[in-house]
Structure 1
Amino acid sequence: MAQMPTAMKSGLEQKGITARHIVAIVISALIFGATIYISRYFPIKIGTVQAVYPAAVFAPLFGVWFGVWGSAGLVVGNILSMLVVGMNPAVYPLALLAQFIMGFVPGIAFRKVKFESAKDRVVFIAMVTIGMVAASALVVLNLIIFQKVPAHIAWGTVWAWMQVSNTLTAAVLSPLLFAWMSDYMNKSGLFFKRFWG
């Protein structure tokens, strides 16, 4: 049997899932999932929605640093955090998609290692905001469709509050963490130069 040329074999390996992709998923899942798990015990909730959601701060960072693999890790982390506390992930399909969107939107739109100008910060914050608003809309649709929460409560109370607990929190704190940690991520070799890895 003929051997596959080395260059072709290398190219095929690069297109598949590598150890680097798995590491990105695991790092994202562990940090994101642990943050969700810890914050579940915060005493203030609106229905099943957490009043304070610190995981939202990390979501855009993993999307920017690890691309689609970091975004996938957000979903894995949320599923793990649900299973640990006895929740059924099958009841939250749109909410799980929302976790992916939190990382996907800023990740696909902002591919720089660091902020090089004020414009970079504005673009980053805008993409984080768009991702969070879209994600919170998916969470509300999940509440209405799968959890039978009345639409006026879901949109008027839950979605409105999520713009504070998720969107505003991430728009303020995610850029600060990115500016602080991104250079380290780049030097460590963990930063994915392309969104698809």
Structure 2
Amino acid sequence: MSQLTSMQSGLPKRGVTARHIVAMVISALIFGATIYISRFVPIKLGTVQVLYPAAIFAPLFGVWFGVWGSAGLVVGNILSMVVVGMNPAIYPLALLAQFIMGFVPGIAFRKVRFEGAKDRIVFIVTVTLGMILSTVLVALNLVLIQKIPGNVVWGTIWPWMQVSNTLAAAIFSPLLFAWMSDYMNKSGLFFKRFLG
């Protein structure tokens, strides 16, 4: 009877596995490194980076690794902040925004490849929605926590984020997905289910 209990009647084990950790680490390292490198672009709008290429990678990690890739985005951003001496505690909504960048497309699009124009449209729409939601959270962080005037945030910074984040991701994320997703699937890294 104890053997039967230990085998759990053939049910798969639940919980965090090495595969989940690997997915989170890959997401965190690539996303965090991209943020870190782009921090050295000398032009900023407040504390917001004018160029934010990490936004292009965020939806991909959500689609490939589900919730684990989305969590990796947060870890990567925290690491990039700590390395340059920033305090992550000042950016709670902005960190949540990083998660949303991966979460929305990840939960809405669970395919290995584009099978037609409809898939491309769905992918672009979900990426765009995720970016708009995330930039709203970043803007709220700037206004509520960082005390930047609302007219500056909503009149200048947030519209620019639609170019640097939303438009960039809507154009380049689908191209990278079409190019790399088969490789991710063949390597065994693609998570078929959002929760892994």
Bucket of the pairwise TM-score, normalised by the shorter protein: over 0.9
- 1:114-153 matches, within 5 Å, as 114-153=113-152
Tell me the distance in 1 between the aligned counterparts of 2:54 and 2:127. 13
Equivalent position amino acid for 1:37 in 2: Y
Tell me the distance in 2 between the aligned counterparts of 1:141 and 1:187. 40
Question: Counterpart in 1 of 2:159?
Answer: 160
Question: Counterpart in 2 of 1:175?
Answer: 174
Tell me the distance in 1 between the aligned counterparts of 2:184 and 2:79. 25
- 1:66-105 matches, within 5 Å, as 66-105=65-104
Identical-residue share of aligned pairs (%): 76
1:41 aligned counterpart, secondary structure: coil
CA-CA distance at 1:31 after TM superposition: 0.1
Name the count of aligned residue pairs: 196
Question: Counterpart in 2 of 1:24?
Answer: 23
Question: Counterpart in 1 of 2:35?
Answer: 36
Closer/same/farther in 2, CA of residues 77 and 119 from structure 1, 3 Å limit: same
Q: What's the CA shift string for 1:56-107, capped at 9, x where partnerless?
A: 0000000000000000000000000000000000000000000000000000
Q: What's the CA shift string for 1:19-75, capped at 9, x where partnerless?
A: 000000000000000000000001111010011100000000000000000000000
Any runs of at least 4 consecutive aligned residues in structure 1 with deviations exceeding 4 A, and if so which? none
Name structure 2 gaps, 5 residues minimum: none
Query: Within the alignment, does 1:5 sit opposite 2:8 as a pair?
Result: no
Tell me the distance in 2 between the aligned counterparts of 1:173 and 1:7. 46
1:97 aligned counterpart, secondary structure: helix
CA-CA distance at 1:8 after TM superposition: 1.5
Equivalent position amino acid for 2:160 in 1: W
2:152 aligned counterpart, secondary structure: helix
- TM-score normalised according to structure 2 size: 0.97
Question: Counterpart in 2 of 1:61?
Answer: 60
Provide the aligned C-alpha RMSD in A: 1.4
